[in-house]
Chains A and B, each alone.
Chain A
């Protein structure tokens, strides 16, 4: 059994080195005084200081955070309505169409969805900018939110709501007093999932936003096209640390419950 045990540990170690190695190297480079990746020029925070000067980057970060918060809130609300419809209303005439339309963006290439949204915004005569960015992000992240919430509502025992009604709560009251508190951790999961997906998105944002609403990934992308720079390393590290912090907090809050990502598989 010794050899098997060793092989198991080696496989796990190799897997985590592969998963986290590149991210950690990137983070280390952001503290490298030298501009060259292969030369360690000593510890330095000068790239972070340079970042503070970079108003374009900071603006992009602010827009990304605002768009992510707003679109995730919309996506979670829409996702909750959609999940309730899909799990509670039984069969309705166009359920298959609704189900398909809700799930299609999950597997649709982002370029296709981005192109479709852009065409629609032009056809509807909507000026592209922050509003269209939020709409586009809410549209594609609501599918993820719906999947997470459908899973939560499915695993929720319907007898609990019946018990509440039996004890005198109206159907709406039973949902608010019993079902919602029980799926609250999943609501948080759904919101965080939508938030990080929006924060991360480059392709759909590029299609749907306009001048004056450049997002952080778009800004990073245009910098990366010019080459690897320590400044991009710095902003990337900050972004990774931010998501890591949010993930850690939500893991603490839900205490080992399966995350939203687990619900998706």
Chain B
């Protein structure tokens, strides 16, 4: 985080009956930052978002916005707006009145409302839609009206609950860029909740990875991907091969995988310690001949730009390897794989 924090979540815990939704969660969101809460369903990310919006009360800890403790402040008094997952557009109001709803609650005059709504429609590129009824809009248009409505009151923080979840794949990618662009122009802090890692990686300045009510790691997308803090993060963000093995200090430092010894410069772990190596599919090189670990192509899946292979090796689940599509490997072919020294991330202990 490069700017000063606008939102601080401090040691927040929340349980629903016997279910722990959040356990001592702390994080900070910077001014003008695009922050993502990423995790599988049930990880507590939605609870955390509802807690920031004021729809849930923490059992312990507090939420601080721009230096002010929000405890006891009801949702309608928080300068935070939320874009709901199902959009929650008011079906009995048209586009104009939906976007103007928050402004009117603040007592804005007729002219101010009209001016501000026009500006919002321009930002989300829906000029001329003010008089439309909600049921006349397409999914993508509804999404943009929901965004405009949440931005209209000029919140210091915008929460977005799975904002692109209801859109189809192609529209989702286009909208990602628009969302990022709008955020950059308005310089409002965005907190997005998503279970889609591609979305989080593409949009966010920083990501918090959550699991079972805990924050596993917070960092920029690159760092999360390249230097995952633990096995869960490595497995959850991006595809990976998790290889179980041991450390050997016999004549250097090695990670001993079932199929061979891999050189490591990392000397933190003692000789004989159990460890796991997380290797991304593109970190494994594959050749038809030469040195390297022998393997057999088990399966080939064409993925457009790249081709995904499953390579059977000794004593190990088949490895996922990606290679250029021109390579033209076929199932049953004998190949050699090569893993560069220090490739991937090493975790101590075993599963």
Contact = CB atoms under 8 A, between A and B. Distances in A.
Asked if A and B touch directly (CB within 8 angstroms), the answer is yes
State the majority secondary structure of interface residues on A: helix
B92 A165 contact: no
Q: How large is the interface on A (under 10, 10 to 19, 20 to 34, 35 or more residues)?
A: 10 to 19
A26 interface: no
Interface centre among B74, B92, B150 (most CB of A within 10 A): B92
Interface string B45-65: 000000001110000000000
Interface stretch (A9-17, A75-83, A116-124, A154-162): A154-162
A159 B74 contact: no
A165 B88 contact: no
B76 A165 contact: yes
Given A165-B75, A165-B76, A169-B76, A182 B92 contact: yes
A43 to B, nearest CB: 48
Interface in A144-177: 157, 159-160, 162-171, 173-174, 177
A167 B101 contact: yes
B347 interface: no
Contacts of B92: 178, 181-182
Interface in A16-48: none
**Which of B86, B105, B149 counts the most A-chain CB atoms under 10 A from its CB?**
B105
Interface string A79-118: 0000000000000000000000000000000000000000
Contacts of A177: 101
Given A159-B84, A159-B86, A167 B105 contact: yes
Interface string B19-56: 00000000000000000000000000000000001110
Interface extent on B, as a size class? 20 to 34
Given A159-B84, A173-B105, A166 B90 contact: no
A169 B90 CA distance: 13
A166 B158 CA distance: 11
A173 B77 CA distance: 13
B17 to A, nearest CB: 13
Interface of B: 53-55, 74-77, 80-82, 84-86, 88-92, 101-102, 105-106, 149-150, 153
6 contacts: A162-B55, A164-B101, A166-B53, A166-B81, A167-B81, A167-B153
Given A157-B88, A164-B101, 16 more contacts: A160-B88, A162-B75, A163-B84, A163-B89, A163-B90, A165-B74, A166-B75, A166-B81, A167-B76, A167-B81, A167-B153, A168-B105, A168-B106, A169-B105, A178-B90, A182-B90
**Which 9 pairs across A and B sit closest by C-beta, in order of nearness?**
A168-B105, A167-B102, A163-B88, A159-B88, A181-B92, A165-B75, A165-B76, A166-B82, A168-B76
